[in-house]
Amino acid sequence: MRLTVPSRSAATPSRSLVLIGLAFVFGLALALGGCGGGGGDGGTPPPAPAPATAPQVSQAPASRAVAAGATVAFSVGAVGTGPFTYQWRRDGQAIAGATSATYTTPALATGDDGARYSVVVTNSAGSATSSDAVATVFTPPAAAANCSGQPTDLTAESGTNAVGRTVTVALSGCTTTLPDVTWTQTAGPAQALLAARTQAITFEPAAAGTYAFSVAFRDGTGASGSRTINVDVTGAEAATRVAIRGSAAVREGARTSLRAWPTVASGDSLARVRWSQIEGPAVEMDTSDPNRAIFTVPAVTRDTVLRFRVTLTTTGGTTATDDALVVVEDHAQAPNSGAYPFNGLHVSRVYAYKLTSPFANELVRCTYNAQLQYTSASNNNLCTLATLPFLHQTTNGAVPTVAQIMDRVIVSHDWMGKNFEDFLNTAGASEDLKRMFNGVTAIVIGAQVRPSFYYALTGAIYLDANNFWITPEQRDVISEVPDFRASFDRDLRYSGLWRYALNNQSIFVPYPAGSRLSRPGPAELVFDAGWLLYHELGHAADFMPPAARGGLNNALSAWDNIAPRFSNRQLPSDLLATQFPLTSGEMRALADVKFRTGPRNPDDLVNGIPYSALTTYTPQQAAGFFSADRASDEYAYSTTREDIAMLIEEFMMQRNHEFRRDVAITDKIMPSTTSSTLIVRWGQRGRIGETSLKPRAQLVVEQLTPWVLQGNANAVSSLPAPLAMRAGESWAANLTLPAPPGGQVGRLSVGGRVLTAEEDRMLLERAQTGPHGQGGGVDTAYRPFGHWTPNDRWLEQLRR
């Protein structure tokens, strides 16, 4: 699909989470009291009571698949005038006593399979009924197979391997871990092994025959070994079939996904897709999208295989099945202790992309290692800059070569490194972007990294691979798990949207989860990854600004070089907050809910404002709070670190690519909303050119990218004034700015092609999940750190 504006994914990762190092756990709580956005002024009094509005369901209960004997917890979100009453129903009949916003079933039996749960939400102005959540109940899975006394176990899927179905082959460590694994195909029709350095490979045979593979490995003792296996594939491709795709090797504690790809014979139609688990420790699956199963990988004491089955049923009565296995790697995550920087974060398998890099042996150990510890400058196992220096120390501040950048790249799959390198060799990778890499020690790109973040403790950036895939086969190995904050704003009555536009077209293009479309090529990854890279590298430049890089101490870690400036509030973000602070207490409270804590109790104070009052703010009120202040985006209110990163991101996207950023406050996005029905209450294109924002942008550019102003002193002052959106018109109509002659605006399109309903919905999810990471649904089952983001978790710990 070739477009007038090069393509952009509809489901991309988050605005970054800046993870603050632990040096100050034991002594700098006072100095950090105002970090992360600081305290507010308490806001203004709640608005005068308005006429009651009927409830609307903003977050419906999500379908689940569980083993018999398990319970399921359902929840609902609603907006309107509170208080609400609730009545849960099963198959349309009221459930006695089920009258709160959450409902937990009794232990379910196989006879409960297919039961449908919904809830009626009522207030004085009316009621609303949620859509149904389906409970799938399957027979408890068999115990995981034993390794029969072997040190490793080489496993292929059981049953018949047929053309048109996915085949998985996995290597498990029975008595040892397997830190290094490499697969090679030795016979049969050639297959692209995109996960050749993980413990499991998958392929979809196009022809019958025998497929042979060898796998070489190094075990936990350092000893090398190898195994071989043959896989027989029979039969022709069936007209009605289903295949399971997804990552087949994950470490314990991960939140991961599998996707079913159904094909139905002509003249028939799909009736149901049913998930079950047939082997291994039982897990609960989120099946809110019936073609996708999301689950938490269980803790194990050795590598363990989980087997799943998907069953397709058509309206004509035809059934088809496919099985998939997922090998759970026995890899200890960080202990639950504040001394471990990756405590609470899932650390997935990665490796140095370039084996010839001078840092190849140290990159993973120094940056993405669950066992890193830090309690003080004298008690830690962080790498010093003598082992892994900032890139600036290699280039002396000059623009790095692509080879120098790639020396610092860590990946979970080889294609990620190749796509990233190919992008850096295109014109889309500006000289500004390359120079900004001087502020990092490493770049981690992973299929399980979500959300993306910068970590001051290691000096590295961590990127969601969803921004870098080109082919659908590459996309298959990336987790579809939404960012855990995706539902935090469910009780609020407005939505905040953003996008980048060029020539009155959005640069973002939807790729439906059920499609097999490819992105056009590496040059166009600037639209999928450019904003993210500028944002994360902006964080890196904040914690290690160019002016501070000349005095680095190689005997200290990245964090201990950063710590003195951080503790003395000398970072550029501190200067921005001091000289040009944001002032809206209401926006700070709303951002606290949307990006930090999620829903609260009605009487809880958020920045001095009752949560119940925040849920009454109309889109018009939120627009007034935001437009009168000097933030470039709502996310800027989450922390001072995000404030500065948002500004440099927008400036660089406009400076280097002429992409102007749209930001808008709209009516609440509901399940039936489209871009043509969503009404904008306030919005601007290119807000960074607003007179009140230019002094803030000037300071940011001076501090983070001083070479820009050295080359053009007017780079900020000459930014064009923003274009106003037309309040009262739709989000789709406001893509054309200013209004076209005659005021006629059609439906939202991409490259002249009108979008389908699914594509339109994906763009809406994309527009509201910029700070939240991966779109495509709400993962209500997952809440790491309580309701805190990793950055906020550390800040809260420091305050205590």
DSSP letters, 209-259, are EEEEEEEEEE-TTS-EEEEEEEEEEESPPPSSEEEEEE-SEEETT-EEEEE
Residue 145 is predicted with a pLDDT of 87
Q: What is the DSSP letter of 330?
A: -
b (16+ CB within 10 A) / e for 292-305: bbbbbbeebebbbb
Contacts of 614 (CB under 8 A, 6+ apart): 491, 492, 586, 589, 590, 593, 606
10 Å Cβ neighbour count for 221?
Answer: 9
Mean pLDDT of all residues in the chain? 89
10 Å Cβ neighbour count for 154?
Answer: 14
**DSSP SS3 for 568:** coil
Say how far residue 757 (Cα) sits from the centre of its chain: 23
Residue 150 is predicted with a pLDDT of 80
Rounded CA gap, 800 and 793, in Å?
Answer: 11
Q: At how many degrees (to 10) do helices 640-657 and 694-704 cross?
A: 90
Residue 345 CA: distances (Å) to CA of 341, 348, 510, 557: 9, 9, 29, 21
Rounded CA gap, 610 and 600, in Å?
Answer: 9
Q: What is the DSSP letter of 142?
A: B
**DSSP SS3 for 576:** helix
Rounded CA gap, 292 and 658, in Å?
Answer: 37
In total, the chain counts a number of residues equal to: 800
Residue 774 is predicted with a pLDDT of 43
Rounded CA gap, 115 and 753, in Å?
Answer: 40
Q: Which amino acid is at 98?
A: A
Rounded CA gap, 116 and 54, in Å?
Answer: 24
Q: Which two tokens stand for residue 560?
A: 């201990």
Rounded CA gap, 313 and 758, in Å?
Answer: 23
**Virtual CA dihedral for 748, 754, 760, 762, nearest 10 degrees?**
-120
Q: Which amino acid is at 747?
A: R
For 282-396, list the strands marked E by DSSP. Answer: 285-286, 292-296, 304-314, 319-329, 351-352, 374-376, 379-380
pLDDT in tens, 491-528: 999 999 999 999 999 999 888 888 899 999 999 999 99
The phi-psi region of residue 209 (left if phi > 0; otherwise alpha if psi is between -120 and 50; otherwise beta) is left
Residue 596 is predicted with a pLDDT of 84
Residues of the chain with pLDDT under 50: 1-42, 771-788, 792, 795, 798-799
Nearest to 521 by CA among 471, 463, 465: 471
Residue 380 CA: distances (Å) to CA of 24, 355, 365, 372, 554: 13, 27, 13, 8, 15
Q: Which two tokens stand for residue 307?
A: 């087997």
Q: At how many degrees (to 10) do helices 525-543 and 694-704 cross?
A: 80
Q: Which amino acid is at 568?
A: N
Residue 471 CB burial class (10 angstroms; 0-12, 13-18, ≥19):
middle
